[in-house]
Structure 1
Amino acid sequence: MDPLLVIFGLGVGVLVGLTGIGGGSLMTPLLILVFGVKPVTAIGTDLAYAAITKTVGGYKHWRQRTVDASVCVWMALGSVPAAVGGVYVLQLLESALGDGLDTTLIAALGVTLIVTGLATLVRSIFARRFSAGERSTVEMTARRRLVAVVFGAVVGFVLGVTSAGSGALIAVGLILFFRLTPTRVVGTDVVHAAILLWAAALAHLGAGNVDYGLAAQILVGSVPGVWIGSHLSVRVPTGALRLTLALVLCGGGLGLLAKAGLAVPTAAIALAPITAAVVVATGLLRARRARLGTLETSPHPPRAVESRG
C-alpha cells in the first residue's frame, strides 16, 4: 500500500465529487508523471477504477430520474465500439512503435487534457448563455440520432486511447447539441460514462493493461474523496470549481507535453495551479460574503441567547 497513491486518489475523488468531472483526466497523468507508471498501464488501470466509481454515481442518478435514456443509448451505440476500437489501435501502435509509443501517447494525452480543459473553461464561462432553451428531454429525430452516434464515437475513441475526456467532453456536447438541463446533463453524462468506461476497461483488461493492486489503492482514497467532495460542493460556487478544474487540466496537459519533449516554459506550467488556487480562494471569499450579507439583510436575524446565572 502506497500512502501517496491513496492521497492522490483522495484528492482526485474530491475533485470529482465537487465538479462531476476530472477523474480520468487527472489520475492518468498523475500515475505517469509522479509514480512512473507505463502509459498504457496507467490508462488501463485508470479506466478500471473509474468504471466502478461512475457505476455507483450512475445508479444514483438513474434512481433520481435525472437521465435521458434515449440520448444515452444513441451515444453509446457510437462510443462503445469506438472505445474498443481505440484500445485495439493502441495495441497495434504498441506493437509497431515499441518504446517509442510512450512518448507519442504522453503527447496525445497532453493534447487531450488541454482540449478537455478548454471545453470545461467554455462551459464555465458561457454557462448562462447555454442555458437558453434548456429542456429535460429531447425528441431524437434522425439528425439528432446521427449527431449522438458520431459524437459518441469520437469521444469513445479518444477515451479508449487516452482514458481522458469522458466527463467534460460529453457534458459540453450534451449542452451544445441537445440543450439538456443541468441535472439531466450530469445524470446522462455519468450513466453514459459508466457504460463507456466498462467497455474500454474490459478491452484493456483483455489486453493485459490493468494493474489490479494499483486500481485497488486508488479506490481506497477515491471512494471517500467523492463523498467529501459531494459534501463540499454546496460551499464552493460551481463556476469557480469548473474554472479551477479547467486550469488544472490545462496545466497537466502542458506538463505532459513537456515530458514528451516539447519546449513548454516552466512558468506556464506553474501558473495553472497558482491561478487555480487564487480562483478557489476568491470563490470561497465571495461565498462567505454572500452568506454574511444574507444574514444581515434577513428580516428575522437570529437572537442572542440570554445567559442564565
Structure 2
Amino acid sequence: MLGIDLVIVLFGLGVGILVGLTGIGGGSLMTPLLVLFAGISPVVAIGTDLAYGAVTKTLGGWKHWRSGTVDMGVSKWLAVGSVPGSLLGVVAVDLLHERYGKGFDKVLLAGIAVALVIVAVTILTRALFMPKLVERERDTVELTNRVRGGAAGIGLVLGFVVGLTSVGSGALIGLALILIFRLTPHRVVGTDVFHAAILLWSAGLAHWVGGNVDFGLMGTILIGSLPGVWIGTHLLPRVPAAGLRPALGCVLLASALGVSTKAGLELPAYGILAPPLLIGAAAFLLQRRRSRLAVRPTTEVAPA
C-alpha cells in the first residue's frame, strides 16, 4: 500500500477537481480506480468511496451554498427519499455479501459496470443530443406537491443505487436536475453537490457500521480530494462544461469496460480503450461543428 499512496492521492486530486467542476465523478470514478489499480475488494472500495465522498462533497456543498448555487427546496425533498434509499442499498449489499461471500464480488462488479455505463450514456446523451434543453432552464423550482413527491421518489430509487454500488450520486441525480427540474448548469452542479453530501453521509455511515470502510485509505484519498474539490469549485465559472462533460462520459465508459473485465468479461486492451476514444473524437467533432455554426455570421439578401 505504501508504494501507491502517491498514486491514490493523485486519484483523489483529479476526482476532487471533477466533482467541484461538474458535481459528477466521485463514486463513478473512484470506486473503479480503487478496484482496478489499488486492488481493493469491491465492498470495501464502495464503503470507503462513500465515506471519503461525504467529506469531499460537504466541502464542495458548503462552497456552493456560499456562492448561492444551491436550490435548497429540491435538495431537501431529494434527501427525503435518497437517505432511506441509500440505507436500503447498504443493507442489501451487506446481506448479499454475507450470504454469498467472495462469490458475490463478481456480481457486484458487474452491477458497478452496468451503473457506470448508464451514467456514461446519460452524460453523453445530455451533452451531445439535448442542446435545446438550455432554452427551458431555470434558476429555481416551485415546490408544488407533485414536485415534492417526484423529488422524493427519484431520491429513493437513486439513493438505493448509490448505497448498493457507490455510483450515481452526482451523475444520475444531476441528470434528474437537468431533465426533470430543468435547473441552469451552475444550479445543477451546486444543488447536486449539496444533496450528494447529505446522501453520502447516510450511506457512508451505514457502510462504516457494516465494517466496509478503510479509514487509512480514506485519509489518503482526502489528502488529494479536498484541495481538488476546492480547485474545481473555483474553476467552475471559467471552464466550459460543453467540452468537459463529454470527456467525463468517455472516461466513465472506459472505467465501466475496465471494471467489466474484473467481473469476468474478456476484453483486449483495445476493446477497453477504442470505444471511449472513438466516441470522444466524434463528440469533439460535433462540438466543434456546433461552435462554428454558432459564430457563423448571418447574411441578409437585400430585396430586388
TM bucket (normalised to shorter chain) is 0.7 to 0.9
Match of 2:202 in 1: 199
- Determine if the alignment matches structure 1 residue 31 to structure 2 residue 34: yes
RMSD value, Cα: 2.6
- Relative to the length of structure 2, the TM-score reads 0.87
Q: Contact 1:245–1:276 at 8 Å: present in 2 too?
A: no
- For residue 168 of structure 2, the aligned residue among 165, 175, 182 is 165
Distance (whole Å) between structure 2 residues aligned to residue 118 and residue 232 of structure 1: 25
Structure 1 residues 62 and 127: alpha-carbon distance in aligned structure 2, compared to 1, 3 A threshold = farther
Letter in 2 for 1:87: V
- 1:229 shift after superposition: 4.0
Match of 1:94 in 2: 97
- 3-state SS of 2:180 partner: helix
Match of 1:246 in 2: 249
- Determine if the alignment matches structure 1 residue 119 to structure 2 residue 122: yes
Question: Structure 2 matches for 1:1-309, cutoff 5 A?
Answer: 1=2, 2-230=5-233, 236-272=239-275, 274-275=277-278
Distance (whole Å) between structure 2 residues aligned to residue 65 and residue 226 of structure 1: 17
- 1:21 shift after superposition: 1.1
Moved more, 225-234 or 83-92: 225-234
Distance (whole Å) between structure 2 residues aligned to residue 229 and residue 174 of structure 1: 20
Deviations 1:49-92 (A, max 9, x none): 11011001111222222221111111111100010110001111
Structure 1 residues 279 and 58: alpha-carbon distance in aligned structure 2, compared to 1, 3 A threshold = farther
> Structure 1: which 5+ residue stretches go unaligned?
294-309
Distance (whole Å) between structure 2 residues aligned to residue 11 and residue 168 of structure 1: 17
Structure 1 residues 240 and 275: alpha-carbon distance in aligned structure 2, compared to 1, 3 A threshold = farther
Distance (whole Å) between structure 2 residues aligned to residue 82 and residue 202 of structure 1: 14
Q: Contact 1:159–1:165 at 8 Å: present in 2 too?
A: yes
Structure 1 residues 13 and 282: alpha-carbon distance in aligned structure 2, compared to 1, 3 A threshold = farther
Q: Contact 2:23–2:192 at 8 Å: present in 1 too?
A: no
Structure 1 residues 221 and 232: alpha-carbon distance in aligned structure 2, compared to 1, 3 A threshold = same
Letter in 2 for 1:30: L
Deviations 1:73-120 (A, max 9, x none): 111111000101100011110111111111011000000011011111
> Structure 2: which 5+ residue stretches go unaligned?
296-304
Moved more, 99-108 or 127-136: 127-136
Structure 1 residues 176 and 277: alpha-carbon distance in aligned structure 2, compared to 1, 3 A threshold = closer
Percent of residue pairs bearing the same amino acid type: 55
Moved more, 254-263 or 206-215: 254-263
- 1:276 shift after superposition: 7.8
Distance (whole Å) between structure 2 residues aligned to residue 56 and residue 141 of structure 1: 30
- 1:29 shift after superposition: 0.6
Distance (whole Å) between structure 1 residues aligned to residue 92 and residue 26 of structure 2: 23
Deviations 1:23-64 (A, max 9, x none): 111010111111110111000100111101100111122222
Distance (whole Å) between structure 2 residues aligned to residue 165 and residue 174 of structure 1: 13
Distance (whole Å) between structure 1 residues aligned to residue 126 and residue 138 of structure 2: 17
- 1:182 shift after superposition: 1.8
- Relative to the length of structure 1, the TM-score reads 0.85
Which structure has the larger Rg? 1
Moved more, 66-75 or 38-47: 66-75
